[in-house]
Every structure is written in C-alpha cells, then in structure tokens.
Amino acid sequence: MSEEANLDNRTIEQIEYKYLNLLNNSLGNSTQLKKELESQNKFFSQFMNPTDRASLKFKKKNYLAAGAERVIFNSINKSGFFGTPNSSPIGGDLFFETKDDEHDQNLLISIDCKTVRAETNMNDIHNFDVGLNQHSYKSTSVYNGGVIRLINPILQSEYKNEHDQKCLLLSYLVVILYHISPSVENPERTEILMISSFCIPNGQLVNHYHSRPWAGGKSGKIKVAGNQILKKADGTDYITLDEEDYVNTRKNLGGLNKRIIEEEFKNRTGNYLEFTNLKSRVNYKEIQKFEIYDESKERLKIIYLSHQIPNEYSEDLKFFKDNYSI
C-alpha cells in the first residue's frame, strides 16, 4: 500500500477492530487486572486517615482515577502492542505511535481511561462521557430540548509524521466502574464492578455512522471558540472572543433563546457554533458493531463483570450481563 493512498472505510474498521482486540489482550487476565486496580485497598485506611499528615482531598471523591491510569498504562506498555508513547499534547490519557506491518500503515492510538463511581455516576456507564481531545469524529449531536450542536473534535482523522507518511488515528476508551464499600460516607475499600473497552469510530467513517455515535452530553458552562464570525440581530458581524462564555455569546448576538433549535441558529449566523470544551456522550448501543468491516464484530468489549453485583446496581448492569458473555 502506498503511504499516500487513502484507506477505505472497511480497512479502517479492520484496523480498529484489530487494535481493540490487542488492547484487551494487553490488559491481560481480568482477575489480575481487577487485583491491580484494587491494590489501593492495602493502604486505603492509611491514606484516608493519616496519623501525622494532612488527609487527601479527592475531587468528587474519585478515589480511583489516578491509580487506574497507572495500572492501565503499565499493562499496555508491557505488552508492546502499541509501540512507543508520544508526547503530543493531544489525545486521551495514553497516546502511542506505532506501525501496523500487516496493512503497511502508521498509527496514532489514543486511549482514555475513565473511572465511574457507581454511587453517584451510574448513568455514565450507559453513555460514556467523551471530550473533544479524545476522538476525531466530527458530526452533529442532539442535546436536551432538541438543540443540535456541532461536535468538532481537536483530533484529526489522520496526521503526517516526520517522513510525510500518513498516520491513521485510532480512539479507544477503557471504562472502569467501581463502588466504595461499605459506603461513600464511611469508605473502607474500592470494589471493581465492571471493566470495558470501546472503540470510537475514526472521523473518516462519518458518512456511514452520521450522528449515531452521540447521545448529547453535558452542556453547562460551555466555552465558545474564538474568532468565529457570526451575525447579530441587526445583521452586522460579531467576532467571538477567545473562549467566550456561551451565555455571553447569546447576549452579544441578541435575541437568541437558550433553547433555540441550532438549525435556526445556523441560519441566523451562517455556521454552527464551535466550542472549546463541549462534551458529548458515546451512544454505544447505536454503534455496537463494526458495521462496514464485519457486523459480527463488537465495538464494545466487556473485560470483567463482577459476579457479586450489589442489588442496587443489578438493573443498571442488566444490559451488559444479558448481551455479553464474560
């Protein structure tokens, strides 16, 4: 294959599927992975209640985020499947570059590690929260109230390396669901309930999947990207400031209701607004398969699912238990 040849969509999905499997293989035995993720329990009472030091302050009491990233990186890096880490300020928590000899294709691989605490964020396990720096899939997404917004990611579908060779971008999530026992108020240990991995489609596949990957998302305190030329109510141009509050943008444009349908907004301004911190949620139930390559192949993999799920979470995890054999 020529380095400058455009990959067809089927080949892109074939590569995505291959490296999703390699990701799962690199994470190794699920029992051992669970053990490593729960290794903080050996010191839990000590770092939560130190005798002669200040106690740790966790943002939103997420006890697992930093430690989980270390465990996942260690497993992936030891496997050697993903080449070498890349220091570019783009991509997920982990970012690698490698060469796939089978397809004669250079790759950049973004892997974001997400920890979800069951007590307060169980809804996140159904629609994974994804930032603009974690994928290359540019499309619209429908938010609350029918508002249509443009998901304009930071990552490109492909890059070129120092030899002017194309590097295909692959995007993956590793999602770890856990809960605090016996309670958040009286934490004593972390217990892993589920570990899953997911492949977000490359941006080149948008003509097939359209807006199906997205299920809206968080839209509070969103920032508008700068230097966008929009139309004010009187027809004159308005140029957005760098990371301007969305509320201020609407005020400056004049007469725009918070719940206005974005198609009308687009007609008024000429373009969809672009944001710098807009998040969306992956609607994995709409894109469960690698539809172009092989509809029997799953984009979502369940690596581990506890056989001792507390009753309060059983209904939320029923979909995974019923549809994926562990």
Task: Compute mean pLDDT per 10 residues along the chain, 326 residues long, and list them.
Answer: 68 98 93 92 81 64 84 93 94 95 97 91 84 93 79 94 96 94 81 95 97 79 85 82 84 68 68 81 91 96 92 90 77
Flag whether 165 is in a domain. Answer: yes
- Report how many domains make up the chain: 2
- Domain boundary residue among 237, 261, 276? 276
Flag whether 200 is in a domain. Answer: yes
Report pTM: 0.88
Flag whether 149 is in a domain. Answer: no
Parent domain of 117: 9-139+155-209+280-323
137, exposed or middle or buried, with CB in 10 Å at 0-12, 13-18, 19+?
buried
Other Cβ atoms less than 10 A from the Cβ of 2: the count is 8
Flag whether 28 is in a domain. Answer: yes
Residues 68 and 169 in one domain: yes
Tokens encoding 139: 């499309």
Flag whether 35 is in a domain. Answer: yes
Residues 161 and 242 in one domain: no
CATH code of the domain covering residue 172: 3.40.600.20
Residues 304 and 163 in one domain: yes
**Cβ contacts of 237 within 8 Å, gap of 6 or more:** 229, 230, 231
Residues 124 and 239 in one domain: no
Predicted confidence at residue 122, as pLDDT, reads 84
Residues 97 and 124 in one domain: yes
Residues 185 and 38 in one domain: yes
Residues 63 and 195 in one domain: yes
* CA 151 remoteness from chain centre: 13
Residue carrying the six token digits 């400031």 = 241
Predicted confidence at residue 275, as pLDDT, reads 86
* CA 179 remoteness from chain centre: 20
Predicted confidence at residue 246, as pLDDT, reads 84
Residues 159 and 267 in one domain: no
* Pairing of the two strands 166-182 and 105-117: parallel
**Cβ contacts of 287 within 8 Å, gap of 6 or more:** 201, 209, 212, 213, 299
| Secondary structure, 3-state, the chain | CCCCCCCCHHHHHHHHHHHHHHHHHHHCCHHHHHHHHCHHHHHHHHHHCCCCCCCCCCHHHCCCHHHHHHHHHHHHHHHCCCCEECCCCCCCCEEEEEEECCCCEEEEEEEEEEEEEHHHHHHHHCCEEECCCCCCCCEEEECHHHCEEEECCCCCCEEECCCCCEEEEEEEEEEEEEEEEECCCCEEEEEEEEEEEEEECCHHHHHHHCCCCECCCCCCCCEECCCCEEECCCCCEEECCCCEEHHHHHHHHCCCCCCCCHHHHHHHHCCCCCECCCCEEECHHHCCEECCCEEEEECEEEEEECCCCCHHHHCCCHHHHHHCCC
Residues 159 and 114 in one domain: yes
Residues 306 and 270 in one domain: no
Flag whether 235 is in a domain. Answer: yes
Flag whether 217 is in a domain. Answer: no
Residues 188 and 91 in one domain: yes
Tokens encoding 182: 């016996």
Residues 196 and 120 in one domain: yes
Closest CA to 291 of 14, 58, 2: 14
Flag whether 148 is in a domain. Answer: no
